[in-house]
Amino acid sequence: MLPTVPTPLLQRVVAGMQKFAPLSLADTAWDNVGVLVESPHVPSSDPPAVLLTIDMTPKVLAEAVAKKCSVVVAYHPLIFSGLKKLSLADPRQATVLHCAQQGISVYCPHTSLDATEGGINDWLIDVVGGHARQVIQPVLPTGKRALSDAEREACRTGYGRFARLNEGVPFATMLARVKSALGISSVRVALPPNFETPDSIVFRSVAVCAGSGSSVFRMLQPSQKPDLLLTGEMGHHDVLAAVESGSVVFLTEHTNTERGFLPKLREILLPDLAEVEIHVAETDRDPLMPY
């Protein structure tokens, strides 16, 4: 008979993730979060092992198998839209099938990890040195349609972060800081029309959003006027609108704004997963590479 309850390790992973980044914070109007693959077969592993990754790709799956991981926490949803069938002919569906075959369950937190206090967006603000941070797009309590100014100011959960810097940071210093923290060699930069070169730019306020920031940055309040917008990707016209309003734009590619948080997530989960090996995927990469 097939098991009808989650494995003990999966239960512990879910409990640890829920403790830090409750799924109630996720934007489930479009997102797909939680346990997306639950394998009925669990290979024996001593000690038990978990793998943290941004994307569940075939290479990451092979790494999980090699490291004898029976649970993968994959930030991006492995299953995003409805499926009418599961076929090996479709690469993403094949990954789902192979996970089940190999005894690997997959938990995907996505926007709950963006929104939670101390999550990915707070980590990004730490990268740039932000001080008194504010949530750009708060998660509204059940039954609330809007927040007062005082409630917005006090809110600590939601999408994107705005912060003022303790002191002005020159362009070159900020660029080097972002590259170093995100582990990347290049950043796409857009300058406002009044700056032909970045030499005279000094940043005093920053807005960040993990992944794709366009829709979140549109929620910035009039009092939140960022000198710099930092995100993974933005639409062409959104970049034009940003620089014409006076903001510099740093684009690092989508998952580069997220991957650097995984070692911190490992430390967060360790107390709830005693005697469990927690690995950060070595084969997880942004699909776009500079050449």
Kindly list the structural domains of the chain, giving each domain's residue range(s) and its CATH number in brackets, ordered by start: 8-113+259-280 (3.40.1390.30), 117-251 (3.40.1390.30)
Helix boundaries (H) for 130-200: 149-154, 171-182
User: How far apart, in whole angstroms, are the C-alpha atoms of residue 28 and residue 244?
Assistant: 33
Phi, psi of 168 (to 5 degrees): -60, 140
| Helix, strand, coil share of the chain (percent; to 5) | 35, 20, 45
- Asked if 231 and 215 touch (Cβ cutoff 8 Å), the reply is no
Mean pLDDT across 55-64: 97
CA angle in degrees (0–180, nearest 5) for 46-260-263? 30
pLDDT band at 20 (very low <50, low <70, confident <90, very high): very high
Mean pLDDT across 91-117: 96
User: What pLDDT was estimated at residue 1?
Assistant: 56
How does pLDDT run across 236-279, given as a tens digit for each residue? Answer: 999 999 999 999 999 999 999 999 999 999 999 999 999 999 99
Peptide bond into 47 cis (omega under 30): yes
pTM of the model: 0.94
For the chain, the average pLDDT equals 94
pLDDT surpasses 90 at 99: yes
Q: Please report, for residues 126, 131, 203, 205, 247, the alpha-carbon distance to residue 169 in angstroms, rounded to integers and kept in the order given.
A: 14, 13, 5, 9, 14
